[in-house]
Structure 1
Amino acid sequence: MSDSLPPSTPGPTPASGDLEIKDAQLIFPAVWADLIERHGDRLTFPREFIWLGGAPGAGKGTNTAFIANARDITAPPIVISSLLTTPQATAIKNAGQMVGDREVIGLLLEELLDPQYRDGVIVDGFPRTKVQVEFLKLFYHAMIGSQPGDDDAAEEWAPGKPMFRIALLFVTEDVSVERQLKRGRVIRDHNRQVRESGVGDLLEERVTDLDPGLCRKRYKAFKDSTFDALQSLRRIFHFHFIDAEGDLPEVQRNIVREFTYQSSLELSPGVFELIQAIPVATQLALHARQELVKRLEQYHEEQPALFQSVIRLIEAKALPIVRAHAMSGHAQINFEDSLLDDPLALRMMIDVCSERGFHATVDLHRVEVPERINPETWEVYCRTKKVYRVEIRYPPSDIRRGH
C-alpha cells in the first residue's frame, strides 16, 4: 500500500511556527541579496546591538537614553515605528503596497549600515513577531558566517563577532493599563491648554490611551506576540529581563545592574581564560576589613618585636608630619630606616595606617650617595641609599568660616 495521500485529500496543516520560520527563510535571503546588490558584499554593521522591547507603558522611550549611556552608545536609537514614516516607507505606501515584514526588515538593514551606528545601536521595537525573531537569527548567522541552525554560535562571543543583547522592560497588565491611561490624561490636558492658550505644540492623542479596554487589548497583544517572541531568544543571545514596575530611580538601578560590564560575556573565551585568575577589585574589597583584623592579630602573636618596632617608627617619624599636614589631609614622608628593608615591616606599616583610617602607599627610591674619590683616577665611588617614600592621605580638616 502506498503511503501517499489521494490528490483530493488535504495534507496536514503546517503549524503556525513552521510557517513563520518558512516566511523568514524566504524573506531574509531576498532582502540580503538586495542589500548586497546596492552596497556590495563588504557590509559593515554595528559591533553591538541592543534589541529593546517592552510592554505598553514600560518606559522604553523614557529609559532608552539611560540604557545607551550605560553601554556607552552615543548614536541615537533606531525606533521601528519612526522607520515607517521615512521617505522610503512613504514611497512604498504611496505605491499602494503594504509595509510588511519584508519592507520593515529591508528598511532596518539599510539604516543599520549608517556609519553613526558602527560602535553600537539600540533598536527600539524589534523584534515583535516570530517572523522577525527568525529573521534576527538569520541576520546574526549571516554576519558571522555560520549556518542558520547553529544557535550555539551565538553563545561564545569573540572579537569580530557582533554582540546581540535582548533587553525586555516588563510590567504587569495592571501597571501597563494604569500608565497608558495616565499618559492619555497628561497628553489630553496638555493639548487642551495649547488650544486654549494658543501656545505650544499639540501632542498625538492615542485612542488606546483613553480606553481601559483598548489598553488591556494592547497589553494582551504584547504578551501574545512580542513577549513570547523575545522569550524564545533567551537561550541564544544575552538576555536582559528588566523589572520596570518601580519608580524611575528604581528602574534605572535595575538597568545599571543588568548592563554593568561583565567580562565573561564581553570578552572572547580565550582572553577571559587568561585574565580570570586575577581577582576583580570588588572581590578584594569584599572581606578586606576582616582580613586586615586577622593580619594585625597575627603580627602581634607571631612577630611582636617587629610589630612594636614598626609602631614606634610610625609614632616617632610619621605622626609629627601627619599632624602638621592635617589641614590638607596629604603628607609625604621619607624613611631611610633599615627596618623597612623587611617586606613584612612595610606591610605592617600599611596595615597599621589602614586600621587608623589612613590610606598609605609606599614607593622605594634608590639614591646614589658619593662616598670617596680615587685621587689617581678621580673616579667617584658611591653607595646606594634606600629611601622609602610614604604617601599618606586622610580626611582633611573642615574649617567653616562665618560671613
Structure 2
Amino acid sequence: MSDTVPDPAPRATPVAADLEIKDAQLIFSAVWTDLRERHDGALPFPTEFIWLGGAPGAGKGTNTAFIARARDISAPPIVISSLLTTPQAVAIKNAGQMVGDREVITLLLEELLDPQYRDGVIVDGFPRTEVQVEFLKLFYHELLALDPDGGGPSDRRVRKPMFRIALLFVTEEVSVQRQLKRGREIREHNRQVRESGIGVPLEERATDLDLELCRKRYKVFKDTTFDTLQSLRQIFHFHFIDAEGDLPEVQQNILREFAYQSSLELSPEVFALIQDIPVATQLARHARQELVRRLEQYERESPDLFRSVVRFIGSKLMPIVHAHAMSGHAQINSEEALLDGPTALRMMIDVFAERGFHVTVDVHLLDVPERINPETWDIVCRTKKVFRIEIRYPPSDIRRGH
C-alpha cells in the first residue's frame, strides 16, 4: 500500500458547520420523537454497530460477510443504498442527486429495530455527510439512556452500546483499476448471458466503464466519506483497514482489527474485576455473545458472590495453573465451600472461559470416618464434597533440546 493518504476535504466554514449541526439536531429530534410514538417507547436496538465505509473498489461487498463472521454477527448487513427504494428516493437517485438525510435516517432507524439485528449489525454506507455524523453522535447518546430490553430510560448499570467505525481503504490508483476491472467483468458476463440465454444479467454502471468517472467517484469518496469517517476517530472505536492486498491478506487485516478485546466488550466494572486473570491465546468466539451477557449479569445481580469467585480464582487456582504452564494442563482438587452451588461454579467456568481457558469440574462425595459408635461399633462417617477442577490451555512453546 502506498504511504500516501488522501488529504482531508476542506472543512466547512464555522457558520456552515454550525448550521449543519443545528440541522442534524432538528432532524434527529423530529425523527426520534416520531419513532418513539410509533413504537410506544419500546426501542430494542442492536447492542453492537459496525458503521462500514470504503473507497470504490475497496471490497466492501466482498468482505462484509467476513467481517460479520469475525464479530459473530449472524444478521445480514444493512446496505443504505438498498434501503432507498421509495418512489421519492428512486426519483432523486435517478436525477443523480443524494437522498435527503431525514429520509435516510428515518429508514435506517426503522430497519435497525428488526429483531434479527439485536445482537449486532453492520451498516454499509453510513455516515456519509456531516449531518449524518452529528446524527450518529446524537443517536449514541440516546441509546445510553435506553433500557437494554427496549423499554424507557433505564437507571440500571448496563453494558454500553458498542459503536465501531470501519473504513476499508485503497489508493486512487488501485480504486480506479478495480472499478474498471469490475466493469469489464460485468460486461463480459452480460455478453455471455445474451448469447447463451443462461443466467441473469448484472447492472452495468457507467462509473465502472469510464476512466474519468472512476476517478471522479474516488474523489467524491475522498472529499466526503473519508473525511466524514475520519472525524469520528476520536469518538468511537475506529478501524482503518488496508484493503489493497489480495483477499487472504485483506482478511488477515480484518481479523487483526476486529480481534476480541476485553477492554472494549465488557463494562469497565467487569473488566477491572477480571483483568488480572491472564489471557490465553485463543477464545471460543462462537460463544462470545452469550459469555459476555452472563458475565455482565453476574456483576449486576450477584456482585458479592462474583467478586468472591474471582478472588478465589486469583489466589487459589492461578498459582497452580502458573506452575503447570509448560504442560497447559492443571488438575486441582478443592473443598472450597464457595463452590457449593451451581451459580458459583458457573461463574468460575465463565471467568476462565473469558480468559481463554477450558475448564471442567467434577463433584465427588467422599465418606470420611469420624468416630466409632461405642454401642454398635459402627463407623460414623461424614460426607465430604470435593471439586475436581481440570484446566486446559495452550502450553508453552518452549521445548528442551535433545
Where on the TM-score scale, by shorter chain, does this alignment land: which range? 0.5 to 0.7
Residue 250 of structure 2 aligns to which amino acid in structure 1? V
Q: CA deviation at 1:107?
A: 0.8
The equivalent of 2:118 in structure 1 is 118
- TM-score w.r.t. the length of structure 1 is 0.65
Query: Secondary structure at the residue paired with 1:203?
Result: coil
Query: Secondary structure at the residue paired with 2:75?
Result: coil
Alpha carbons of 1:369 and 1:118: their partners in 2 closer, same or farther (altered >3 Å)?
Answer: closer
Q: CA deviation at 1:161?
A: 2.5
Query: Secondary structure at the residue paired with 1:281?
Result: coil
Whether contact under 8 Å (2:187, 2:204) holds in the other structure is yes
Q: Say yes or no: does 1:36 pair with 2:10.
A: no
Aligned length: 302
Query: Secondary structure at the residue paired with 1:261?
Result: coil
The equivalent of 2:161 in structure 1 is 162
1:214-233 pair list within 5 angstroms? 214-233=213-232
Cα distance in 1 for partners of 2:208, 2:90 equals 26
Cα distance in 2 for partners of 1:209, 1:251 equals 22
**Could you list the per-position Cα deviations for residues 211-259 of structure 1 after superposition, in whole angstroms to 9, with x for gaps in the alignment?**
1211111111101000000001011111111111111111111111111
Q: CA deviation at 1:363?
A: 5.7
Cα distance in 1 for partners of 2:277, 2:167 equals 33
Whether contact under 8 Å (2:159, 2:266) holds in the other structure is no
The equivalent of 1:136 in structure 2 is 136
1:294-333 pair list within 5 angstroms? none
Alpha carbons of 1:245 and 1:372: their partners in 2 closer, same or farther (altered >3 Å)?
Answer: same
1:100-115 pair list within 5 angstroms? 100-115=100-115
The equivalent of 2:292 in structure 1 is none
Cα distance in 2 for partners of 1:371, 1:139 equals 66
Residue 280 of structure 1 aligns to which amino acid in structure 2? V
The equivalent of 1:240 in structure 2 is 239
**Could you list the per-position Cα deviations for residues 276-299 of structure 1 after superposition, in whole angstroms to 9, with x for gaps in the alignment?**
12121239xxxxxxxxxxxxxxxx
The equivalent of 1:340 in structure 2 is none
Q: CA deviation at 1:14?
A: 5.3
Q: Say yes or no: does 1:80 pair with 2:80.
A: yes
Cα distance in 2 for partners of 1:208, 1:82 equals 18
Cα distance in 1 for partners of 2:23, 2:367 equals 80
Residue 44 of structure 1 aligns to which amino acid in structure 2? P
Deviating more after overlay: 214-223 vs 158-167: 158-167
1:63-102 pair list within 5 angstroms? 63-85=63-85, 89=89, 99-102=99-102
- Unmatched 5+ residue regions in structure 2? 1-12, 147-156, 283-319, 335-363, 393-402
Cα distance in 1 for partners of 2:109, 2:371 equals 78
Alpha carbons of 1:136 and 1:379: their partners in 2 closer, same or farther (altered >3 Å)?
Answer: same
Cα distance in 1 for partners of 2:81, 2:269 equals 40
Cα distance in 1 for partners of 2:219, 2:115 equals 37
Q: CA deviation at 1:18?
A: 2.3
Q: CA deviation at 1:98?
A: 8.1
Q: CA deviation at 1:109?
A: 0.9
Deviating more after overlay: 367-376 vs 266-275: 367-376
Q: CA deviation at 1:129?
A: 1.1
The equivalent of 2:278 in structure 1 is 279
Q: CA deviation at 1:362?
A: 6.5
Q: Say yes or no: does 1:249 pair with 2:235.
A: no
Computing the radius of gyration from Cα coordinates, the structure with the larger value is 1
Q: CA deviation at 1:22?
A: 2.2
Alpha carbons of 1:142 and 1:378: their partners in 2 closer, same or farther (altered >3 Å)?
Answer: same
Cα distance in 2 for partners of 1:56, 1:222 equals 8
Residue 59 of structure 1 aligns to which amino acid in structure 2? G
The equivalent of 2:261 in structure 1 is 262
Residue 205 of structure 1 aligns to which amino acid in structure 2? E
Alpha carbons of 1:241 and 1:199: their partners in 2 closer, same or farther (altered >3 Å)?
Answer: same
Q: CA deviation at 1:139?
A: 1.2
Q: CA deviation at 1:369?
A: 8.9
Cα distance in 1 for partners of 2:382, 2:142 equals 68
